[in-house]
């Protein structure tokens, strides 16, 4: 049994800032944010009956804010799909 996983970006949604008057240095609400959906397909090369498809969703915000509410920098989204990186670069430039 050799399972493999294939992931494909399904959608990217850009959402406007929810509070344009919020402090841009400390609040993600002052910035647009990105919502992505990725489809994952799992297959077994030795058994055609073992296939599964699932979706995952993720939101990406401009600021990386820790559990204490402190901004620790900008969010690192460099490992995302190239399209997602391009969109984030454009909206947060």
Q: What is the pLDDT of residue 1?
A: 66
Q: What is the pLDDT of residue 46?
A: 82
Residue 26, domain extent: 3-91
CB 54 within 8 A of CB 10: no
Residue 21's Cα: distance from chain center in Å? 25
* Token output for 67: 């559990």
CB 84 within 8 A of CB 13: no
Which of 2, 93, 15, 80 has its CA nearest to residue 43?
2
Q: What is the pLDDT of residue 2?
A: 80
pLDDT string in tens for the chain (93-residue length): 688 999 999 999 999 999 989 999 999 999 999 999 999 999 988 877 778 999 999 999 999 999 999 999 999 999 999 999 999 999 999
> For the chain, what is the domain count?
1
Q: What is the pLDDT of residue 49?
A: 73
């Amino acid at each position: 049994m050799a399972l493999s996983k294939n992931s494909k970006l399904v959608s990217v949604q850009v959402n406007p800032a929810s509070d344009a008057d919020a402090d841009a240095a400390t609040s993600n609400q002052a910035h647009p944010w990105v919502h992505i959906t990725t489809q994952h397909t799992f297959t077994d090369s030795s058994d055609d009956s073992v296939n599964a498809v699932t979706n995952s969703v993720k939101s990406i915000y401009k600021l990386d804010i820790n559990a204490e509410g402190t901004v620790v920098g900008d969010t690192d989204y460099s490992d995302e799909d190239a399209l997602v990186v391009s969109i984030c670069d454009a909206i947060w430039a």
